[in-house]
């Protein structure tokens, strides 16, 4: 709990007021609920197992692990809820899902897309595309290199 004397943290997007404590110091952050780390810890706490990762979870979910499918579905609902709020604010034409788990078309991108298109206001979903980022998990690194290259060109 922050006391009024402490400076406030301006970091994440609040999904749940008074939700789970986030490493940033706030509670209920979307980033905390929507991360792959969150999916892993949900599956670990539901199954009592440790050492899980996204690959194991998606593989077992695909093989029919009911527990993981349920956790996955609850995680996707949280991701969809946060993204729907942002879609209502920014009204984008496209939402790109990146990160290592974004290769999971059938178990992640499809249900996420269906949920968002179902729950967002119709005037925001007309023409809205929800796709996986083509550069997947490398997007951040490639973007950093591109930025560096652009900066070098600007120096000449
Ligand atoms: Zn946070």
- Segment (H or E) for 130: strand 129-132
pLDDT of residue 145: 86
Q: How many angstroms does the Cα of residue 18 sit away from the middle of ligand 1? A: 12
Q: Is the pTM of this model over 0.85?
A: no
Which residues have CB atoms below 5 A from the ion given as ligand 1? 12, 22, 24, 26, 29
Q: Which residue has the higher pLDDT, 79 or 147?
A: 79
Highest mean pLDDT range out of 11-25, 61-75, 130-144? Answer: 61-75
- Residue extents of the structural domains in the chain: 35-151
pLDDT score at 134? 78
Q: Which CATH superfamily is domain 35-151 in?
A: ATPase, nucleotide binding domain (3.30.420.40)
Which one is predicted more confidently, 154 or 123?
A: 123
CA 14 to centroid of ligand 1, rounded, Å: 8
**Ligand 1 centroid, distance to 11 Cα (angstroms):** 6
The alpha carbon of 32 and the centre of ligand 1 are apart by a number of angstroms equal to 6
The predicted structure's pLDDT at residue 136: 67
């Amino acid at each position: 709990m922050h006391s009024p004397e402490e400076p406030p943290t301006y970091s994440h997007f609040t999904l749940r007021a008074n939700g789970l404590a986030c490493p940033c110091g706030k509670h209920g952050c979307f980033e905390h609920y929507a991360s792959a780390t969150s999916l892993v810890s949900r599956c670990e706490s539901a199954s009592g197992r440790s050492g899980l990762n996204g690959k194991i979870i998606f593989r077992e979910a695909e093989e029919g692990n009911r527990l993981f499918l349920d956790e996955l579905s609850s995680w996707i609902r949280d991701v969809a809820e946060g993204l729907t709020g942002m879609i209502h604010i920014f009204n984008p034409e496209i939402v790109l899902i990146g990160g290592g788990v974004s290769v999971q078309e059938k178990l992640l991108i499809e249900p996420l897309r269906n949920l968002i298109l179902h729950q967002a206001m119709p005037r925001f979903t007309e023409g809205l595309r929800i796709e996986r980022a083509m550069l997947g998990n490398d997007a951040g690194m490639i973007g950093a290199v591109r930025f560096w290259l652009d900066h070098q060109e600007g120096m000449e």
